[in-house]
Structure 1
Amino acid sequence: MAGEEKKEALAQEFVAFAVECGVLRFGEFKTKAGRLSPYFFNAGLFDDGAKLGRLAEFYAAALLDAMREGGLEFDMIFGPAYKGIPLGAAVAVELARRGHNRPFAYNRKEAKDHGEGGSLVGAPLKGRVLIVDDVMSAGTAVRESIALIEAAGAQAHAVVIALDRQEMATENGADVPYSAVQYVRDRLGMQVATIARLEDLLRYLECQGAGASGADHARVLAYRQRYGVAQ
């Protein structure tokens, strides 16, 4: 299977898995930007060992593809609090299982004033750091992670996320003509790997046909046409 076909197949399999787990839902949901989105992705609902293990397989597959095809490189993994902590740990375990063992660290929201102290836990932050997160919307969490990583003397080098919403980010309450992923990639110069994108979700819904899926496809497409960014 060619590289692009393999990535598309992985994305379709992931979207189906997320829908099956109830992680990807359809309806009406308010985003942080105040938009009414016809879909919502909640990685917190990968809530048992089997789901989390399967999710880690998807992340690892996307990362290994980006390493082979896109030249993505990193020396260690960082999981930002809170959702990024189990995601980063699971990805570190799966990568090690596949022969790519990397150090792993995460942060606390509140600095600890006893024991080892501080807000960072795990391996010391150094070298090129990969940030693991679920969905990048405004890019706020990534910017906070970058600040922590750079303050520790390491380089925030790459990001991997489960779903790229491919929609306009907001700056000071106003829409801007680029997504958070594009901002991180093009303006901060970081490598970004994704398992699936909004266009993969639309393709999945289109393949499901009429009925509820057809109505969901129409609503998601309308949302994409209103808030989507040029690729």
Structure 2
Amino acid sequence: MEKEAMKAELCRILNKIGALKFGAFKLTSGKVSPYYIDLRIVPSFPDAFQRICDLYVKLIKKDIGVDNLDRIAGIPTAGIPLASLTAYHLKKPFLYIRPTERLHGRERRVEGILLPGNRVLLMDDLITSGGSLRRAAEAIRTEGGVVTDALVLLDREEGGKENLAKDNVKLHYLLTTSEAAYKLCEIGAITEDQLDVILKQVKRK
């Protein structure tokens, strides 16, 4: 019941800040989607930002275990503010992973202090195909870190969870697209036609 209440609260927050948009959106994965949940705007709403990070912290403590991780890494760009605030609350060192290596300075993809054997939790706003998280896991492992878990706010249910599993990374999430769609429809935030649009996209994976 507690988990259902959390999901309902999260949907109310996303509705309040106007995160859900309908149209034609090209995603990072290259797919075109008829809807978009813009989680990049979350830090522009301090109360929502704080509450969502509180929910991240609860999930980490319950499902992963604070003692089972040494570092938290954010995926640019949307994952960085979420991961940094979460790391601050858990008193864990923060890293972020560049999409490509720097061509100057240390010429590394991983920014921050990463020691061999450090267990790193990857964090992003959402997952579609999982490409960004898989590349981040590879970068961490290349520099001697250990990655077994990734955490997102939203699983778009388009193959990302399964793709991460191929790299031995377990996906944790606060909410799935289907759960969000049904709850938003229940509270009248979207119509049944819009619900169908979202569910059809999920089934197309």
1:206 matched to 2:177 = no
Q: 1:196 offset after TM fit, Å?
A: 0.2
| Aligned residue number for residue 36 of structure 1 | 33
Equivalent runs, 1:144-163 vs 2, <5 Å: 144-163=135-154
* Cα pair 1:77 1:131 within 8 Å, conserved: yes
SS in 2 for 1:163: strand
1:10 matched to 2:1 = no
Gapped regions of structure 1 (runs ≥ 5): 168-178
SS in 1 for 2:77: coil
Identity of aligned residues (%): 22
Q: CA-to-partner distance for each residue in 1:148-203, whole Å, 9 max, x for gaps? A: 10111111111000101112xxxxxxxxxxx1112213x22222210001221132
TM-score normalized with structure 1 length: 0.75
Query: Considering only CA atoms, is the larger Rg found in Structure 1 or Structure 2?
Result: 1
SS in 2 for 1:192: strand
Amino acid at match of 2:37: F
CA spacing shift, 1:191–1:222, aligned 2, 3 Å? closer
1:106 matched to 2:102 = no
Q: CA-to-partner distance for each residue in 1:39-75, whole Å, 9 max, x for gaps? A: 212221113333322221121122223136xx99322
* Cα pair 1:76 1:102 within 8 Å, conserved: yes
TM-score normalized with structure 2 length: 0.84
| Aligned residue number for residue 199 of structure 2 | 221
SS in 1 for 2:92: coil
Amino acid at match of 1:16: R
Indicate which of 149, 173, 192 corresponds to 1:194.
173
| Aligned residue number for residue 138 of structure 1 | 129
RMSD across aligned C-alpha pairs, in angstroms? Answer: 2.5
1:121 matched to 2:111 = yes
Q: CA-to-partner distance for each residue in 1:123-164, whole Å, 9 max, x for gaps? A: 324422100011111211112111210111111111000101
SS in 2 for 1:133: strand
CA spacing shift, 1:102–1:20, aligned 2, 3 Å? same
